[in-house]
Amino acid sequence: MDIEIANALTTFTTRYCDAWHETQGTWPQSADLYGVPSPCIISSLDDRVLWQPKPFTAEENVNAVERAMDLVVQPAVHTFYTTQYAGDMTASVDGISLTLLQTWSEDDLQRVQENLIGHLVTQKRLKLSPTLFIATLDSELDVISVCNLSGEVIKETIGTRNREILAPSLADFLTRLEPLL
C-alpha cells in the first residue's frame, strides 16, 4: 500500500466528513446509495443513507484489472480503491467540480474493476495510452484519471486524445481537493 496516497485520501475524507458535520450536523448522506449494502452505513432514512468511512477489509488490490488487461496498474490506483470503504464524495480542484469515486463495499470493488476494464478495453481499441478513472465530472464524456504510464492525474475526454494534466501525482491531487457539499 502506498502510504502517501492512503494518508492523502483519508485526510481528504476526514475534511469532507467534517464539512458535513459543520454544515448539516450529520455524517455524509447519499440518496444514490440508498438500499445498497455497505459497512459504511450508519442509518437509513426514507430515501437516503447516512454513512461514515470504514477501513477496507478485502484484498487490497485491483488485480482483476491487471489480469484482464495484461498490464501492471499504477500502485497509486490500487491504494486509491482499497484504502477505505466510503461513499462517493463531491469536491473541487482548480475550479473543477468533480465526484471522487470510492469503493462502497467488497461487492462494489468488483463492479469498479469491471468498469475500469471496460474503460481500458475502449482505450486499447482506440490506441490510446491507458488511464484509470478516479472521478467523474458533470459532463458524462469527461473523467479524472490516473495515467497508467506516468502516474499523473489528468482530466480526459473519454475516447479521445484530449487530456489535461491536473497534478503530477495522485497524492498531490488528493491533497489539493476541497470538499464541495
Q: Does domain 3-18+56-176 have CATH number 3.40.1580.20?
A: yes
Q: State the pLDDT at residue 59.
A: 85
Those residues with Cβ within 8 angstroms of residue 138's Cβ, 6 or more apart along the chain or in another chain? 97
pLDDT digits 0-9 by tens, 63-115 = 999 999 999 999 999 999 999 999 999 999 999 999 999 999 999 999 999 99
21-30's contacts with Cβ under 8 Å and 24+ in sequence apart are 23/181, 24/181, 26/50, 27/51, 27/52, 28/52, 28/87, 28/89, 30/87, 30/88
Q: Could you tell me the residue ranges of all domains in the chain?
A: 3-18+56-176
The list of the chain residues with pLDDT below 50 reads none
pTM given for the model: 0.96
Q: 142 pairs with which residues across the strands?
A: 157
Q: State the pLDDT at residue 60.
A: 87
